[in-house]
Structures are given as C-alpha cells and as structure tokens.
Amino acid sequence: MKKRYLLIALVLLSFVSLFLGVKNIHPLDLFRLSEEQLQVMLVSRIPRLVSILVAGAALSISGLIMQQLSRNKFVSPTTAGTDDAARLGILVALMLFTSASLIEKMIVAFVFALAGTFVFMKILDRVKYKDAIFIPLVGLMFGNVIGSLTTFFAYKNNLIQNITAWLQGDFSGILSGRYEMIYISIPLVIVAYLFANKFTIAGMGEEFAINLGLKHKQIVNIGLVIVALVSVVVMLTVGLIPFLGLVVPNLVTIYAGDNLKKSLPLTAMLGALFVLFCDILGRILIYPYEVPIGLTVGVIGSGLFLYLLIRRKAHDA
C-alpha cells in the first residue's frame, strides 16, 4: 500500500464526486460555470466532498488510536460504547434545551461520549479475561445498555425520530452552513499525528511507557479526548458511520504494522478513500436517489469485518 497510489485514487475519486449528482455539471464546464452551477458546487458538492474526506480520515484515525490504546484490534468507537454514549448525550441536550444549538449538542454529547469511553476503558482494566473477541463484545453490550437508556428516554419525551436521525450517516444533507463543525476534526487529526509516537508507546503497556519516561495516563486521556470529540463531531454533522474505525485501521496495520508514525497517515488516506468510494457507490446505485453512507459503509464494512475475524481465526490456528 503506497501513499502515492492512495493519493492518486483520492484525487480521481474526489473529481468524480464533484461532478456526480442530479444537477448535471460537466467537468469541461468547470471554467465557465453558470451562476446556478456555481451555487451547486459551493453550497452542496464541495462541502460534501470535504466532509467525506474529513469524516473518513478522522473516524479511521480514532479507531486506530483506540485499538492502540486498548491493545485490542477489535475495539473502536462503534464497539466501545463511544457512539452510543454520544447519542445519549445528544438526547440529553435535546431534553435540557428544547431547541439546542449545534454547539450545545456537541458539548453535551462530547461529555457523554468521553465519559462512556472512559467507563469502557475502566471496565477493560478490570476484565481479567482479555480475549480479543470478548473485549469488543463487552463493549457492544455496554453500548447497548446505554442505547436502551437512550431509547427509553426518547420514547418518554417523544424524541425517537430526532434520535434515529443521528443513527444513520448520510452525506446528502450536507450543505454549506450546516456542516462546518466537521472542521474541528482537522486540528484533532494533526494533534493525533503529533502524538503518534506516544500513542504507539502507550499501547505497549503502562510499564513500558513509564520506563521510557512517558506519562501513560495523560497520553491515554489525550487519545480518548480526540476519539470522543471526533466521534461526536462526525455524528452531529454526518451521522453514524459504523465499522469504519474498525475496518480501515485493521486493513492498514496488517500491512504497515503498529508504528503509528507510519500507519496513521495511511489510515487517514485509506479511510477517506473508503468513505468516498462508498459514497459514490451509494449515489450511483439507485440514481437519481441515494443510498445513505451509513448503509453502504455498514454493508461493505461488516463484510470486511467478517473477513478480518475469519482471517484472524486462521492466523491463530
């Protein structure tokens, strides 16, 4: 997996993405766009492309960080309760402030997501039986417990529809003026890259980290903050994109190993590429309608996830 090929594919698909849609814009029109076409580009197509790239890269990286810090290949925001806790947070925000602004929702959801991830990491510390498959199962159960709480309170407050809206990732609603929050992910990705070496060391265990003079807890906490914030920001702008943080980092580390300095940029690029590909697929399949990204990534991602599971079984045997 060469960086160069990933980059070329990204540029090509980005191009396709910009010129794909109900409103027909031909690449050759690029330098003489009509007023209307320009509007479509600026208001819809470009914001959509940007949020696809950012969401894909940032979510994949948060998965990578979680896997490194928990020392488990099957832990990700989807399988550690982060996403579920974030949704509960959004619900709480909706209940507390009847017409919560995006920022208010973000802050409350972030606090919940962080707390949820924290509790999961604490559970992880306590669990004696650290089987690779058992841990994410615990995470899924934990997430479902939170999820049922969310559903319960959503029912009582007549908010079920609002809540399910966050459940399914969808880029078709991305319009200029309603997606800019996703830019928060960009500095987070940069911070993640700056901390790549420290995450790698922290992933080798607390004693290993202390030996090298690293404050283990502090590094883990920084990692969890990045993960929670990215998950919340993407959920609020795009919605839930399941399996992304699980599949992409796993595919990368099979080839590039666990040195984050090396695997993190690759993960970001492959993540962006994967989401871009799934999005284009979703836009072509039932053209002029769309299959939401949560569904395409979910289907392809869970297929790949199964493959990883089976591959692992074969590897262990």
Partner 1 sequence: MIEAKHLSKSYGGKPVVEGVSLRVEKGKMTSFIGPNGAGKSTVLSMISRLLAQDSGEVLIEGKEIGQWKSNELARKISILKQSNHINVRLTVRELVSFGRFPYSQGKLTAEDWKHVDEAIRYMDMQDMQGKYLDQLSGGQNQRAFIAMVIAQNTEYILLDEPLNNLDMKHSVQIMKVLRRLVDELGKTVVLVIHDINFASCYSDHIVALKEGKVVREGSVDEMITTEALKQIYEMDIAIQSINGNRICVYFT
Chain positions contacting partner 1, by CB under 8 A: 71, 196-198, 200-201, 203-205, 207-208, 210-215, 253, 257-259, 261
The nearest distance, CB 212 to partner 1, in angstroms, is: 5
The nearest distance, CB 160 to partner 1, in angstroms, is: 42
Among residues 122 and 261, whose Cβ is nearest to partner 1? Answer: 261
The nearest distance, CB 199 to partner 1, in angstroms, is: 11
Among residues 33 and 71, whose Cβ is nearest to partner 1? Answer: 71
* 228, 115 contact by CB (below 8 A): no
The nearest distance, CB 171 to partner 1, in angstroms, is: 33
The nearest distance, CB 78 to partner 1, in angstroms, is: 21
User: Cα(52)–Cα(69) distance, rounded to whole angstroms?
Assistant: 26
Among residues 90 and 209, whose Cβ is nearest to partner 1? Answer: 209
Among residues 121 and 163, whose Cβ is nearest to partner 1? Answer: 121
Among residues 179 and 195, whose Cβ is nearest to partner 1? Answer: 195
Collect all residues with Cβ–Cβ distance below 8 Å to 90 and sequence separation of at least 6.
Answer: 105, 108, 109, 163, 166, 235, 236
Sign of the alpha-carbon torsion through 215, 217, 222, 226: positive
The nearest distance, CB 213 to partner 1, in angstroms, is: 3
The nearest distance, CB 201 to partner 1, in angstroms, is: 6
Among residues 33 and 204, whose Cβ is nearest to partner 1? Answer: 204
Among residues 62 and 68, whose Cβ is nearest to partner 1? Answer: 68
